[in-house]
Structure 1
């Protein structure tokens, strides 16, 4: 349990340093594992990497993150979607060794920025990211993923599927009922129970394909691709120029997730453990992933949604999920079973998870009593929301500023440029 002298979030059922009992611990950790599994293995499938390595590197990266931040930030690191286009391009032109280099270079960028922040400090963050910017950005993080949730819920190989959508709605309904009406331990794992309930319903209506589970081996060693062991290093300029700049984009995602976690846990992670440590941990995790054959890593909004819904913020639970990820990367049948969870089940769960994240942003605006009668506030929020949720992005050559990153940059710029009052309000 937490030290009596430490701050404890009164809203949390299990706070950051609270350690659950063994069996509840297992269930809570599996809940996080199931939540992140689909997205984490999807990235390597899309770019031609080994899914089991992605699972392994996400677990190792999360444990490393928890260790470096001294167990103060309840975050889970999974495969990053931001690098997909660049990795696919490099894979086609230069092969995996160049991809691995690019992933490592992007991690090095994180580490360099972390050292700069360590020297220059981070007091500027409060000025650059006030509530009028933070609130809408967090809403964008949640609502920007809404389309992904809807597509998972409705589409079967690109075509609308009524049966799929029914599975998603049943999954959502089961999760809401469990979240609202269960008590004691079961009230802490509504997401896990919702996934199981949705999976059983999907199985009953014939949406689940169990053949890959039957065909999978019980034990299999991931096909690691280790630099200097499985291939020689040859410097690739294309890897450096196409992958390293994307790190600056994912840093905005990193900070956005840190904002949400700070709000949920009633702490300021920008000050303790500090952005220097969280960026360093994230960058080191990505470098290790690239070195062994995995995709870049990043903190996961899906798992943040679980934290918000369950009010279980224990880093021990996240560490348990990381350990399970590592173990399951060697268990072929277990990995295949989890991967057999159909898209509509994930979509149904995501309706709730992403909505909770967006609601956290709305709460920041309410708690800070942001006055939308002031034109300045209205303009900043409007620009962030529409650009971020609308999917606008900036592309220059192979460099792309995603909608969330672009919305954040524009919001920060408007906050720094616009006067406190419009002339019509003076």
Structure 2
């Protein structure tokens, strides 16, 4: 039996009372909604299908990992460029094959992990590497949050700034001064408060809610052409290699979850199961018209703030995502949450992820007077936060987070334990 995380209000296997569960699940839904529906809008896919596949993918992930890891699967940004290109030049069948190939890469890596085990993880990811990488995962999103919190239609708008600031301060206040039932949901309350302020200052357009139907069947797509199946190797070659990007994010998110929950998910349920869950979720998404999916940092941030790690809550958010995919007015209402609000909350969510990385460094007493530790941390932080990315052609773009992760692994393996100048001392 697992030992309960010392700081958990509801640990991984614990089920909150119904109304608490309902509110906490909505909190996770609202936190991931904006990013999950933004990807299909940028690519040209149906947002309702993306919402549906994020919920189904999360439920499948929970099933495959035996309900032992609280991870929400949302639309991945790593594949936007090739998906958009394929949609314009060929159509969804090509996109679908690319997405399915991404899932297959995950499944193949899961098979490799089954054979090799996970002992290598601790060797290539010691605290001096893990801490900076976790910090990068949070801080690399700071620019996106700042842009959402200041810009409207690519122009600076003081109303957006003020709403974002009010949302941030409200979220901090709710987190610090509320207790009991309401104290568990500072992010949800912050979003609601910010939304009301945004509505007052004219940043919310309710016309989409008025125009939306109560029941709207998502526009499911097929990986088959009208004339039958046709294989698109270019789609597979342009998307499958990018799975390396999301694989590094997958490892990073697991490390964050390990830290904040106090559990070792590499061992239980095991990396092979988490990879299989991710891969299966993307395969299913590709089969019915959704984008590739990946675990979401926004939801990890919510868990860090609320100290609620329950898979029942994550499953509840997934359930509501599936239902809301069919309820047009509810989906439209959530989609009207302006970037000022999500950006304001993002300052908190992304920051707490970075703070978890800092805590790894502090708890393990990583000594930065040692040159080796400094030479590992410094490039990881700057490369990742600055998004020093590798672009190969027009469709393959390896993010700064991915490059920073690989760089950290290489430096940890190659650098000597003690610098030559330190030996002289």
TM range (shorter): over 0.9
Q: Summarize the alignment of residues 183-194 of structure 1 with structure 2, pairs less than 5 Å apart.
A: 183-194=179-190
Deviation at 1:206, TM superposition (A): 1.0
1:78 has 2:74 as partner: yes
Q: Do the aligned partners of 2:191 and 2:342 also contact (CA within 8 Å) in 1?
A: yes
Deviation at 1:249, TM superposition (A): 1.2
CA distance in 2, matches of 1:295, 1:179: 34
Q: Do the aligned partners of 1:178 and 1:193 also contact (CA within 8 Å) in 2?
A: yes
Q: Do the aligned partners of 2:55 and 2:322 also contact (CA within 8 Å) in 1?
A: yes
1:135 has 2:131 as partner: yes
Determine which of 161, 175, 197 is the counterpart of 2:193: 197
Aligned match of 2:24: 28
Q: Give a deviation string over 1:71-104, Cα, whole Å, max 9, x none.
A: 1111100000000011112122222111110000
Aligned match of 1:52: 48
Determine which of 348, 354, 371 is the counterpart of 2:350: 354
Q: Do the aligned partners of 1:392 and 1:403 also contact (CA within 8 Å) in 2?
A: yes
1:300 has 2:301 as partner: no
Q: Do the aligned partners of 2:164 and 2:341 also contact (CA within 8 Å) in 1?
A: yes
Deviation at 1:230, TM superposition (A): 6.4
1:376 has 2:372 as partner: yes
Q: Summarize the alignment of residues 153-172 of structure 1 with structure 2, pairs less than 5 Å apart.
A: 153-172=149-168
Deviation at 1:229, TM superposition (A): 8.4
CA distance 1:137–1:166, shift in 2 (3 Å)? same
Aligned match of 1:410: 407
Gaps of 5+ in 2: none
Q: Do the aligned partners of 2:224 and 2:230 also contact (CA within 8 Å) in 1?
A: no
Higher mean alpha-carbon deviation, 327-336 vs 230-239, is at: 230-239
Q: Summarize the alignment of residues 210-289 of structure 1 with structure 2, pairs less than 5 Å apart.
A: 210-228=206-224, 232-289=228-285
Determine which of 396, 400, 410 is the counterpart of 2:397: 400
- The TM-score normalised by the length of structure 1 is 0.98
Q: Give a deviation string over 1:162-188, Cα, whole Å, max 9, x none.
A: 010000001011111100000100000
CA distance in 2, matches of 1:400, 1:122: 28
Aligned-residue RMSD, C-alpha? 1.0
User: For 2:119, what is the secondary structure of its paired residue?
Assistant: coil
1:62 has 2:54 as partner: no
Q: Do the aligned partners of 1:97 and 1:231 also contact (CA within 8 Å) in 2?
A: no
Q: Do the aligned partners of 2:282 and 2:291 also contact (CA within 8 Å) in 1?
A: yes
Aligned match of 1:335: 331
1:390 has 2:373 as partner: no
CA distance in 2, matches of 1:315, 1:64: 12
Deviation at 1:227, TM superposition (A): 3.2
Q: Do the aligned partners of 2:92 and 2:222 also contact (CA within 8 Å) in 1?
A: no
Q: Do the aligned partners of 1:110 and 1:283 also contact (CA within 8 Å) in 2?
A: yes
Aligned match of 1:363: 359
Q: Summarize the alignment of residues 115-154 of structure 1 with structure 2, pairs less than 5 Å apart.
A: 115-154=111-150
CA distance in 2, matches of 1:18, 1:231: 50
Deviation at 1:117, TM superposition (A): 0.7
Runs (4 or more) in structure 1 with deviation over 3 Å come to 227-231
Aligned match of 2:419: 422
User: For 1:113, what is the secondary structure of its paired residue?
Assistant: helix
